Structure 1
């Protein structure tokens, strides 16, 4: 089964080389959108042997998450994807996930599973600890889903939206599965990056249209509790 990674990126030179190291061994091909980068993001992606297609947008345009997602899915279909894996440039997948993926997808076909969620770990203060208090310990995201070319209805939201088509979303009770593996989000490690993320979402969504609980929690450390990545669950090989 062919697994295609989908990536939307803008000015992600800081993260994208290690993203490729983390994701490329797991997938058969990569389809990406460079959404108006003015750094070396496009060059780094273009040089990778698993890049099947790079869609380039000109700089200066507004962030169009929904358009990016839909265009990437359509591009992945051009490259005969059986499954899509959607991991952002500042995210990493647990190494054990990649090793188990072929068997997992074979079992999914037998069980009729069309989408899987992974735990989302928001790294905090360093690259081995993540936040677990309150909402932080409950986060999970559906980022692995089966390609069905007849599925052409997409989440109308512009932010915080489902990658997968609504034909899957509406049947998650029957076709969804949860995996014990993690996605590690690196952009929350440093306080400066957390603050920048807060301001970015306040600009993109000033009235909290796409997230009712607003964005203050991104920089609020009240009740902070951290956990360390468990042995055997890391996203990179450590010396």
Structure 2
């Protein structure tokens, strides 16, 4: 299997229908981990025809980002995924990524590329605009990487960690590449979601140990500049229920 999407989720039924419509066309299969959800997360995932496996953690446990991601990487290897794509439930790939991904992976094979980053766009106030001022315009994330079973070292950090093996991370200058494709983040659209995200990270990382710049910027609109998503960079679904409920 050439490309498998990996997803860790807890109580994400709001975002999952749109995520599945967005990500499924780009991949050969999906492996998900339901981290003790109390809503319909597990059932929504299990019902989709492209979902190969749903790993289920018991309810009531603390969020364990590293443990969840390691379990998903292991499952991806068991399913024979040559490449993995890591996209959270509240994120959306621009529509043309699904059209281009086969060529992207062919190019990687030809050039020895092992990981790609995507431009990370934080949507703000609606589904058509994202922030471009300051740090917002520079965000990118390595979410597409080769799944080599010989690579066995992984980021020890519990938060804001690399999914990909450290054998790739330490060689990004030679084996990494940047895609022009956008990855849109929906959980910053509404002010209440922005503040909830801020509170979550401040609680998990009160001393900003895992993000030196801290988290105040998540709710700071000083000097805000917004860019409009061009029609050819839009994403599916065009009417995402997560943004209208």
What range is the shorter-chain TM-score in?
Answer: over 0.9
Q: Deviations over 1:11-44 (max 9, x none)?
A: 0000011100001111011001000100000000
Displacement after TM superposition at 1:185 (Å): 0.1
Matches within 5 A, 1:96-175: 96-175=96-175
Give 1:229 deviation, angstroms. Answer: 0.2
Q: Secondary structure at the match of 2:233?
A: coil
Query: What TM-score do the two structures reach when normalised by structure 1?
Result: 0.98
RMSD between aligned residues? 1.0
Equivalences, count:
239
Q: Is the 8 A contact 2:18 2:236 kept in 1?
A: no
Distance 1:106 1:217, change over 3 A: same
Matched, 1:2 2:2: yes
- The aligned residue for residue 178 of structure 2 is 178
**8 A contact 2:21–2:237 mirrored in 1:** no
TM-score (normalised: structure 2): 0.96
Partner of 1:68: 68
Structure 1 Cα separation of the partners of residues 15 and 70 of structure 2: 23
Any idea what SS the aligned residue of 1:181 has? strand
SS at match of 1:13: coil
Q: 1:129 to 1:2 in 2, by over 3 A?
A: same
| Residue 28 (structure 1) aligned with residue 36 (structure 2) | no
Correspondence 1:212 to 2:176: no
C-alpha change, 1:76 and 1:23, in structure 2 (3 Å) is same
User: Post-superposition shift, 1:238?
Assistant: 4.2
Q: Counterpart of 1:80 in 2: which secondary structure?
A: coil
Match of 2:83 in 1: 83
State the 4+ residue runs in structure 1 displaced beyond 3 angstroms.
none
Structure 1 position 236, deviation (Å): 2.1
The residue correspondences of 1:193-204 to structure 2 (distance < 5 A) are 193-204=193-204
1:34 to 1:237, Cα distance in 2 relative to 1, 3 A: closer
Unmatched segments (≥5 aa) in structure 1: none
Deviation for aligned residue 1:7: 0.1
Describe the superposition over 1:149-180 as per-residue Cα deviations: whole angstroms up to 9, x where unpaired.
01110001111111100000000000000000
